[in-house]
């Protein structure tokens, strides 16, 4: 079988019963179930949610995005083999550990297939909850230009690239474009301070001011859990993005939970420990792919300069990347997933057919 056929690149055309439009993001597609199907599954499967909670099928893909564009490869390879299954496996592992250690639940109720989650609808907190343990990436680029204030936190002079920070920094940014918040630009992914959140907590979808402390505690605790586990594997958890939301459980109680994905190569930087101690940074995350793109094209400013977005979109559309580039990323994603979970990532021969089959047989959700 052609390797490209084992890549799930289009995931918004599955015959899942829904009466709403399919929401397709950069990597995942969300199918909101009908009210009748949601109630039936909650009853039959015994999910710990309110009896009338809206449920969805969330299907991951093997697509890869970087610099706000989706990239493709030669030979019709419109994604990275094994990437979707690796991301889900890693998230499932961390979410499970968080539950075991009493941190908080996630939005995931069931995992019918390596590419699929059944989730409950959550009201998202409109914050990209970013935590940084090392100075690198965008923070380092800003630091070299003289910036010392990051999200209201003052960094000391004399820091060096890729060094460990004096403490874990929480540097949140906006999730989506928020309007009408004084001092917060109406743009996606802009840095905000804790003071911004405290003064306008309702605009960020927090129920109460005290929930700001809860989200920060869950972020720090989650970061520490992943850091400790990766240290056992001699890997370094550099920085990450968490997302949070509110759900109602079966007792009618509102909970702040983890949602989206967590601790994956898409949402985090992970470095190889032995190499770092030898003075080398070896990425075990999407940052490796970003660096490959910067090296692949003669004018990297196109990828870094938001004012050149039309040119960047043209690069992504018109350039099929070498198969070797995508296979290197595949090895990185599946390798770190297998290291974290202790289980192999197995490529499906026909992921779409497998998903349809299991959702028909075990959940009666196929039209």
* pTM for the structure as a whole: 0.95
Q: Over the Cα atoms of the chain, what is R_g? A: 21
Across 86-103, b (16+ Cβ under 10 Å) vs e yields bbbbbbbbbbebbeeeeb
User: Per-residue pLDDT for 138 more than 90?
Assistant: no
Mean pLDDT across 330-343: 97
Enumerate domains of the chain plus CATH numbers: 3-122+341-361 (3.30.200.20), 123-277 (3.30.470.20)
Contact 216, 204 (CB under 8 A): no
User: Per-residue pLDDT for 1 more than 80?
Assistant: no
Please state, as a whole number, how many other Cβ atoms lie within 10 Å of the Cβ of residue 185: 12
* Distance from C-alpha of 330 to C-alpha of 64, rounded to nearest angstrom: 10
pLDDT in tens, 103-127: 999 999 999 999 999 999 999 999 9
User: Per-residue pLDDT for 218 more than 70?
Assistant: yes
Q: Where are the beta strands (DSSP E) in the chain?
A: 23-24, 28-32, 55-60, 64-66, 69-71, 108-113, 116-120, 123-124, 127-134, 149-150, 153-154, 164-170, 173-174, 235-248, 254-259, 268-272
Q: How confident is the model at residue 77 (pLDDT cuts 50, 70, 90)?
A: very high
DSSP bridge pairs for 116: 59, 113
């Amino acid at each position: 079988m052609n390797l490209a056929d084992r890549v799930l690149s289009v995931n918004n055309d599955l015959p899942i019963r829904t009466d709403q439009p399919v929401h397709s993001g950069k990597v995942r597609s969300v199918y909101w179930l009908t009210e009748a199907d949601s109630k039936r599954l909650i009853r039959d499967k015994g999910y710990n949610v309110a009896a009338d909670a809206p449920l969805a099928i969330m299907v991951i893909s093997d697509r890869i995005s970087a610099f706000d564009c989706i990239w493709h490869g030669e030979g019709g390879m419109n994604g990275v083999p094994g990437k979707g299954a690796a991301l889900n496996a890693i998230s499932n592992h961390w979410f499970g550990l968080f539950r075991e250690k009493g941190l908080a639940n996630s939005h995931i109720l069931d995992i019918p297939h390596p590419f699929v989650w059944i989730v409950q609808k959550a009201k998202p907190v409109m914050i990209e909850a970013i935590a940084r343990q090392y100075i690198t990436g965008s923070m380092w680029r800003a630091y070299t230009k003289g910036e010392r204030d990051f999200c209201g936190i003052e960094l000391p002079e004399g820091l060096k690239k890729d060094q460990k920070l004096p403490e874990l920094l929480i540097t949140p940014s906006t999730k989506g474009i928020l309007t009408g918040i004084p001092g917060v630009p109406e743009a996606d992914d802009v840095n905000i301070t804790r003071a911004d959140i405290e003064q306008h907590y309702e605009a960020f979808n927090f129920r109460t001011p005290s929930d700001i402390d809860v989200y920060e505690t869950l972020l720090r605790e989650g970061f520490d859990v992943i850091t400790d586990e990766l240290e056992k594997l001699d890997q370094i958890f550099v920085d990450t993005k968490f997302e949070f939301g509110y759900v109602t459980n079966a007792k009618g109680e509102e909970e702040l939970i983890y949602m989206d994905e967590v601790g994956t190569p898409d949402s985090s930087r992970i470095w190889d420990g032995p190499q770092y101690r030898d003075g080398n940074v070896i990425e075990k995350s999407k940052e490796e792919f970003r660096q490959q793109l910067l090296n692949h094209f003669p004018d990297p400013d196109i990828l870094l300069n938001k004012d050149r977005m039309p040119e960047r979109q043209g690069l992504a559309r018109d350039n099929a990347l070498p198969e070797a580039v995508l296979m290197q990323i595949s090895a990185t994603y599946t390798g770190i997933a297998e290291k974290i979970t202790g289980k192999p990532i197995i490529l499906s021969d026909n992921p779409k057919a497998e998903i349809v089959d299991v959702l028909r047989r075990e959940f009666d959700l196929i039209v």
